Structure 1
Amino acid sequence: MKSAVETLSPTRAKLTVEVPFEELKPSLDAAYKKIAQQINVPGFRRGKVPPMVIDRQVGRGVVLDEAINDVIPSKYIEALQTNDLEPLAQPEIEVTKFEDNDVLEFTAEVDVKPEVVLPSYDGLEAEVDDVTVTDADVEEQVQSLRERFASLTDVDREAADGDFVVIDLKATQDGEVVEGAEVAGMSYQVGRGGMLDGLDEALAGMKAGDEKTFASQLVGGDLVGADVEVAVTVTQVQEQELPELDDDFAQMASEFDTVEELTADVRERLGRGKRLEQAAAARDAVLEKLLEQVEIPLPEGIVTEELNARRQSVEQQLVFAGITMEKYLEDENQTVEEFEADLERRVRDAVAAQFILDEVAKKEELGVDQNELSQHLVRRAQQSGQDPQEFANHMFEHNHVPELVQEILRGKALATIVESATVKDASGNVVELKNLRPDGTIGEPEDEATEEAEETGAEEAPEESADKA
C-alpha cells in the first residue's frame, strides 16, 4: 500500500491511498464466504457455493463492493499511522479509481489535530479575587436555615410578598386547556419568581377564594414560549412564621448549643466554599494565561459541533428551570448576539485548551492507572446522577473509556501547569490550591477536611503504635 498526504489547511488533510489488488485478496475471500452464507443455489449447500457460481448468480461487482467496504477502513487507519495524523472526526472517503484485478485508489479528507508549539508553561502568574465572607452572606445562610424550620399559618387577608399561597393554575390557548399545563393544590411563595411571568403580580392582593386571569408564556413542554391565558385561583393564604434566632433554635437546627457557635460554623463553611470557588478561578486563570501565549488553528467543524452541543445544553437547562431564553437573557442583561458571541468565545477557548493540554500530557509522559479511572468514573456518574456501575457499563459498552482517559490526562496536564504557577489574590496573598485533584477537577470542601484528618491520623499513628507496644 502507498499513501500520500496533502495539507488542505492547518486542521484538515487529504489522504490519497493506493492499494494493490493482491492486498484485497483476504477481503475478497471474506466477501465470497459471507455471500455464500446468504444465497441459496440449487445443488450447493449453504455456505459452500463456489466463487465462480457466486459471480454468475449475484455478479462480480457485488463481491468487489463488499471487499472494498471491508478493506478501506483498515487501510485508512494504516495510512493515518504512516503519515502520523490524528483524526478529529469521521473522514469523507471517495473511491477515485478501481477496476477488477487493478489497483484500488481512494481519498479521505478529515479534520486533524493541528500542530501545537507549546510555549513555556512553568511559573505562570495569575491573579484572582479575594476570598471575603461578609456579615450579609452569613445572615443570608442563617435566614435560609430559619426558613427551613418555619411554620405556616392560614391568614384571612390579601397575599403579600413572602406569603405562601395554595393555588390552582390552568393555562388555555384559544379557549382550549393546554395539555400538561394544569395543576391543583400547589404551594407557592409570592415574590419567589422563576415560574410564570406575571404570576407574582397577579397574586399580589388576592385572598382565599379569589380568581384572576393573566397573559403569560409557557416555559416547558412542546409549546414552550407560546402565548397563553392563565387562570389562577387562590385557595389558601399562609403567613410564614420564623423561629426566634436563639440558643434553642441553634440546638434544634444543628449540633451546636449556642447561636454564636452556629453562626461561626456557617461563616467557616462559607469560607471553605469560597476558597473552593477561588481555587477553581485560579485554575481557570492560569489556563487563560497559557492560552494568551499561543495561537492555535481550530477545526471549524469541531467548533461548530461543540457550539451546537453547548447551546442545546443551555436550552435544556433553561427548560428544566422553567425559564425562557428571553427571560434568561433579560436577567443576564445580554442580547442574543452578545450571548452567541460569548458562547462561541468560550467554546473556542475550550477546544484550544484541549489541544494544549494534550500536548502537555505527551511532553510530561503522563499516564492513567486503574484506580484513577475508577475514581473518575464514579465522579462522572455522580455528576450525572447515575448509578456508578450502570454508568461504567455504558462507557465500556459504547467504547467511551478512551474519552474518559483523555479527560484524566488533560486534568493531570492542567494540574501540572497550575502546580508550578504562582496565583495571588487581589491583596497579594498567594493562593493555595489544596482542592485541585490529580485529574484537574476541584474537590469539595469536605474533601479538604477529610484529607487533613487523614494526614493527622497518619502523623499520630506511629505514636499510637508505640504506646501499644
Structure 2
Amino acid sequence: MKSTVETLSPTRVRLSVEVPFEELAPYINEAYKSVGQQIRVPGFRPGKAPRQVIDQRIGRDSVYAQAMDPAVQANLNKAVTENEVNALGRPELTEVKPIEEGKPFEFTVETDVTPKFELPDFASLKVTVEAGDVTEEDVDKDLESQRLRFSSLKAVERPAADGDFVQIDLRATQNGEEVEGGSVTGMSHEVGSGNLLDGLDEALVGMSAGDEKTIESTLAGEQEGENAQVEVKVTQVKERELPDLDDDFAEMASPYDTLEELRTATRERLENQGRTAKANEARTKTLEALIEAVELPLPEKTVTDEVEHTRGHLLEQVQQVAGGFEEYLQMVGKSAEEFDQELRDDVESNLRQSIVLGQIARERELEVSGELMTAEVVRQAQQRGVPQDQFQRFVDELRTNGGLQQIAASLRQQLALEEVVKEASVVDASGTELSEEDLFPGRAAAEAEAAGDDEGDSDESEDRDAEDRN
C-alpha cells in the first residue's frame, strides 16, 4: 500500500491511498464467501459454489463492489497510522475507483486533524484559588442549617413577618377576567423567600389570618411578562420553632452525644469539603489558564458535526422533560439563537480541552492503569445503581457501545491535567503556594496504605514459602 498526505488547511488533510491488487485478496475472498452464502445455485450447497459460477450469476464487479468498503476502512486505518495523522471526527470519502482485476485500488479521503500547536511551559501558568479555611462562623452557619432541618411549624395569631410560613389563596385577573390557571388555594409559602410573584412577599408582611389584599404583579408561564391583579388571602400564619442547640439536639440529630462532639465533627466535615473544593478549583482554573495560553484553531467540520450530534441528543431529552423545544426554551428563558450559541461554545471548549490534554498525554506517554480503569467503572456502576449481579452485564454494555473507550479517554485526560497542576504555580488568596496534599488531598495516604498492603502480601508469601521449605 502507498499513501500520500496533502495539507488543505491547518485542521484538514487529504489522504490518497493506492492498494496493490494482490493485497485486496482477503477482502475479495470474504466478499465471495458472503455472496456465496446469500445466493442459491442449483447443484451446490450454500457457500460451496465456485467463483466462476458466482461471477456468472451476479457478475464479478458486484462481488468486487462488496469488497470495497472493508478494503477502504482497513487501508485507511493503515494510512492514518503510517502517516501519523491525528484524525478528528469521521473521515469523508471524496473519491474511489472501482476494483478492477489486476489494477491498483485507489481512493481519496479528507479528514479533520488535530492542528499543530505549542504547549506552554506549565511552570509559567499562574493560578489563585479563592477557597479559604473553615472559620467558626462557617461551623455556626452549618449547625444552624442542621437546626432548620429539625424545626417545626406552629400556628400563631399575629401578623406575618419575614421567615414565617403562611397558607394563602391566590386569584389572578386581567381586566376583570380570571386568568386561566391563575387561581390556587391552600398554598404554603415562606414569607421573604421570593419564590412566587413579584411584590407578594412585601404584601404578606403584616397580614394576619383572614386578611385580604390585591396587588399588581407580573405573571409567569404562558402569560409570562404580562401584568395582572392578584387577590391574596391569608388563611393561616405559622412560625418556625427551632430546637435548642444543646447536647439533646446533638443526640437527636446526629450519632454524637454532646454538642461539642457534633461541633467537632461538623468542622472536620467542612474542612474535608473545603480541601476537596480547593483541589477542584485548582484543577478547573489551571485548565482554564492552560487553554488560554494555547493558540489553537479548531476544525470547523468537526465542530459542526459535534454540535448537530449533541443538539439531537439534547432535543430527545428536552422532549421528555418539557414536551417540545419551544416549551423548553420558554422554561429556561432563552432564545433559539442563545441556545445554539451556548451549545457551540460548550462543544468548542470541550474539543479544545480534549486536543490539548490529548497532546500532553501523548508527549508524557501517559497510560491508564487497569486498577484506575476498574475503580472508575465500579464508581459509575454504583452511581447508576447497578446491582452487583448485573455488574458484568453493565461492563459488557460499556464495551459494546464504546463506553469503556470513553472512560479510558476521560481518565487519560485527567492524568494529563494532573501533570499540569503539579508543575503550575497554584497559590491561595493569601499567596501561599498549595502543597501536593492540597492539590491531591488524601492521595499520599492512600498510596502509602496500598504500598503497606502490597508489602504485607509479600511477607505472607515469603512466610508460606519458608513453611513449604521446612
2: CA distance, partners of 1:427 / 1:56: 84
Corresponding position: 1:150 with 2:151: yes
1: CA distance, partners of 2:363 / 2:321: 42
Cα 1:371/1:451, change in 2 over 3 Å: closer
Name 2:118's counterpart in structure 1.
117
> How far has the Cα of 1:262 moved from its partner?
3.4
Whether the 8 Å CA contact 1:190–1:203 is kept in 2: the answer is no
TM-score, length-scaled by structure 1? 0.72
2: CA distance, partners of 1:59 / 1:340: 50
Query: In the alignment, which of 430, 435, 444 is matched to residue 432 of structure 1?
Result: 435
Cα 1:425/1:305, change in 2 over 3 Å: farther
Whether the 8 Å CA contact 2:193–2:201 is kept in 1: the answer is no
Name 2:107's counterpart in structure 1.
106
**For residue 399 of structure 2, what is the amino acid of its counterpart?**
F
Name 1:11's counterpart in structure 2.
11
1: CA distance, partners of 2:407 / 2:375: 11
Cα 1:448/1:76, change in 2 over 3 Å: closer
Whether the 8 Å CA contact 1:14–1:107 is kept in 2: the answer is yes
Name 1:464's counterpart in structure 2.
none
Name 1:221's counterpart in structure 2.
none
* Structure 1 SS opposite 2:38: coil
Whether the 8 Å CA contact 2:68–2:99 is kept in 1: the answer is no
Name 1:440's counterpart in structure 2.
none
* Structure 1 SS opposite 2:87: coil
* Structure 1 SS opposite 2:395: helix
Cα 1:146/1:435, change in 2 over 3 Å: same
1: CA distance, partners of 2:406 / 2:225: 40
Name 1:89's counterpart in structure 2.
89
Name 2:399's counterpart in structure 1.
396
* Structure 2 SS opposite 1:118: coil
Name 2:413's counterpart in structure 1.
410
2: CA distance, partners of 1:452 / 1:61: 62
Cα 1:185/1:118, change in 2 over 3 Å: same
Deviations 1:231-274 (A, max 9, x none): 99999875532212233222322244544553454344334323
Match runs of 1:120-269 below 5 Å: 120-122=121-123, 124-133=125-134, 137-153=138-154, 162=163, 216-217=220-221, 239-269=239-269
- Report the more deviating stretch, 40-49 or 81-90: 40-49
Cα 1:117/1:235, change in 2 over 3 Å: same
Whether the 8 Å CA contact 2:65–2:99 is kept in 1: the answer is no
Whether the 8 Å CA contact 2:38–2:46 is kept in 1: the answer is yes
Whether the 8 Å CA contact 1:97–1:103 is kept in 2: the answer is no
Cα 1:259/1:406, change in 2 over 3 Å: same
* Structure 2 SS opposite 1:91: strand
Whether the 8 Å CA contact 2:95–2:108 is kept in 1: the answer is yes
Deviations 1:275-303 (A, max 9, x none): 32222222222233333332122222343
Deviations 1:43-62 (A, max 9, x none): 33222223333233333332
Deviations 1:330-381 (A, max 9, x none): 9xxxx98788767655653442232222222222222222111111223344
Whether the 8 Å CA contact 1:315–1:325 is kept in 2: the answer is no
2: CA distance, partners of 1:21 / 1:193: 75
Name 1:288's counterpart in structure 2.
288
Name 1:68's counterpart in structure 2.
68
Cα 1:34/1:454, change in 2 over 3 Å: closer
In structure 2, runs of 5+ residues without a counterpart are: 171-177, 457-470
Whether the 8 Å CA contact 1:167–1:234 is kept in 2: the answer is yes
Whether the 8 Å CA contact 2:278–2:439 is kept in 1: the answer is no
2: CA distance, partners of 1:226 / 1:363: 55
2: CA distance, partners of 1:160 / 1:113: 61
- Report the more deviating stretch, 335-344 or 142-151: 335-344
**For residue 90 of structure 1, what is the amino acid of its counterpart?**
R
1: CA distance, partners of 2:447 / 2:28: 65
- Report the more deviating stretch, 243-252 or 380-389: 380-389
**For residue 6 of structure 1, what is the amino acid of its counterpart?**
E
The structure with the largest helix share of the pair is 2
Q: How many residues align?
A: 433
Identity of aligned residues (%): 40
Q: Which has the larger radius of gyration?
A: 2
Whether the 8 Å CA contact 2:131–2:277 is kept in 1: the answer is no
In structure 1, runs of 5+ residues without a counterpart are: 170-174, 219-224, 438-442, 462-469
Whether the 8 Å CA contact 1:131–1:271 is kept in 2: the answer is no
Name 1:370's counterpart in structure 2.
370
Cα 1:246/1:327, change in 2 over 3 Å: farther
* Structure 2 SS opposite 1:89: strand
1: CA distance, partners of 2:247 / 2:403: 53
2: CA distance, partners of 1:321 / 1:310: 15
Whether the 8 Å CA contact 2:131–2:274 is kept in 1: the answer is no
**For residue 221 of structure 2, what is the amino acid of its counterpart?**
Q
Whether the 8 Å CA contact 1:361–1:410 is kept in 2: the answer is yes
> How far has the Cα of 1:145 moved from its partner?
0.9
Cα 1:270/1:348, change in 2 over 3 Å: same
Whether the 8 Å CA contact 1:128–1:281 is kept in 2: the answer is yes
1: CA distance, partners of 2:260 / 2:379: 36
Cα 1:273/1:313, change in 2 over 3 Å: farther
Whether the 8 Å CA contact 1:245–1:259 is kept in 2: the answer is yes
2: CA distance, partners of 1:184 / 1:75: 71
Deviations 1:299-328 (A, max 9, x none): 223434555638976996999799965675
Corresponding position: 1:57 with 2:57: yes
- Report the more deviating stretch, 390-399 or 232-241: 232-241
* Structure 2 SS opposite 1:423: strand
Deviations 1:169-193 (A, max 9, x none): 9xxxxx9x99xxxx99997756656
* Structure 1 SS opposite 2:111: strand
* Structure 1 SS opposite 2:107: strand
Name 1:222's counterpart in structure 2.
none
> How far has the Cα of 1:31 moved from its partner?
1.6
